[in-house]
Homo-oligomer: A and B are copies of this chain.
């Protein structure tokens, strides 16, 4: 462990500086966690935007230069790019360094990155459960991880001191930290994140396709509930495509359960079974209360979102 005045890491390399990568840079600066923050992006446009914001000490269009001498390297691009990235950086990873990521799936990350990790590098996959519907380097902010959970899925036999160091790192960026098995992570996230996103994308798509209701009507009357789903359905398309392609089994399993339950509700509506509806609607209220009590959502009605003024 480092002393109070010395940063936890000498050089942190962020491979990807979108919403999550740039938020990590801001959070690291807030907590003084890295002597040097290096950022890599594929496109010149992203690098220029990041340079204007100034959250990194160095910016690179070359992964080798970005990761060289880093004691923490974080893959922070869509998970579909991890295999290629891991292969490209492998020769340049420093012995004793930590290689981590922030991908929303974990079994696939172990599968895609694991084989490329050199001897002597500590590979500890991670997933901060935080985000907004925005993307890109401008979307990041230091508080994104405050009070949220970060899940680590270290392979069996991973060096305990390295795990502890990464845990300290996330804690000091504001997160609470849990450790679990990648397969369990993937089913937990299928229900708490992936399937909710899928059905949000789906209902917004359905609304867009209906012939009997115009797009203008959908927009005007969206405050009836629909608008809530459009926030999630505005999330980054590439990131989410990769999530579904890489958590297929768990997503399909949870989706199967969702469909069974929906069929029961559909039947209750068709046959006028008010008690079945009432009982479910009562049970779900308690879960909202628990989430607010756990500090994972705002207690203010309507998420406390701005009350618009009349024209």
Q: Which listed residue, B223, B233, B282, touches A288 by the CB 8 Å rule?
A: B233
Stretch at the interface among A54-62, A130-138, A155-163: A130-138
- Tell me if A53 is interfacial: C-beta within 8 Å of chain B: no
Does A284 contact B147, Cβ atoms closer than 8 Å? no
In the complex the two chains form, what is the Cα distance from A225 to B230 in whole Å?
12
Does A220 contact B252, Cβ atoms closer than 8 Å? no
Does A287 contact B202, Cβ atoms closer than 8 Å? no
CB closest chain-B residue, reference A277: B241
Does B296 contact A223, Cβ atoms closer than 8 Å? yes
Does A146 contact B309, Cβ atoms closer than 8 Å? yes
Q: Which listed residue, B143, B202, B217, B238, touches A307 by the CB 8 Å rule?
A: B143
In the complex the two chains form, what is the Cα distance from A234 to B278 in whole Å?
12
In the complex the two chains form, what is the Cα distance from A131 to B226 in whole Å?
12
CB closest chain-B residue, reference A281: B237
Min C-beta distance of A9 to chain B, whole Å: 20
Does A237 contact B269, Cβ atoms closer than 8 Å? no
- Tell me if A48 is interfacial: C-beta within 8 Å of chain B: no
Does B224 contact A285, Cβ atoms closer than 8 Å? no
Interface string of A263-300 (1 = CB under 8 A from B): 00110111010100110111111011111001111101
Does B232 contact A291, Cβ atoms closer than 8 Å? no
Does B284 contact A222, Cβ atoms closer than 8 Å? no
CB closest chain-B residue, reference A299: B306
Interface residues contributed by chain A, number (CB under 8 Å): 120
Min C-beta distance of A70 to chain B, whole Å: 26
Q: Which listed residue, B149, B207, B278, touches A191 by the CB 8 Å rule?
A: B207
Q: Which of A244-273 contact B (CB under 8 A)?
A: 244-245, 248, 251-252, 254-255, 257-259, 261-262, 265-266, 268-270, 272
In the complex the two chains form, what is the Cα distance from A303 to B308 in whole Å?
12
- Tell me if A47 is interfacial: C-beta within 8 Å of chain B: no
Does B132 contact A221, Cβ atoms closer than 8 Å? no
Min C-beta distance of A54 to chain B, whole Å: 21
Min C-beta distance of A28 to chain B, whole Å: 15
- Tell me if A310 is interfacial: C-beta within 8 Å of chain B: yes
The verdict on A280 contacting B201 (CB below 8 Å), with A133-B301, A251-B269, A258-B206 known, is yes
Question: Can you list 7 A-B pairs with a CB-CB distance of less than 8 A?
Answer: A133-B302, A195-B203, A205-B280, A227-B291, A245-B277, A298-B306, A304-B305
A residues contacting B by CB (< 8 A) are 80, 104, 129-134, 139, 143-144, 146-149, 151, 174-176, 178, 184, 187-189, 191-210, 212-213, 215, 217-235, 237-238, 240-242, 244-245, 248, 251-252, 254-255, 257-259, 261-262, 265-266, 268-270, 272, 274, 277-278, 280-285, 287-291, 294-298, 300-311
Closest 8 CB pairs of A and B: A193-B224, A237-B281, A147-B308, A132-B301, A234-B288, A233-B284, A196-B225, A230-B288
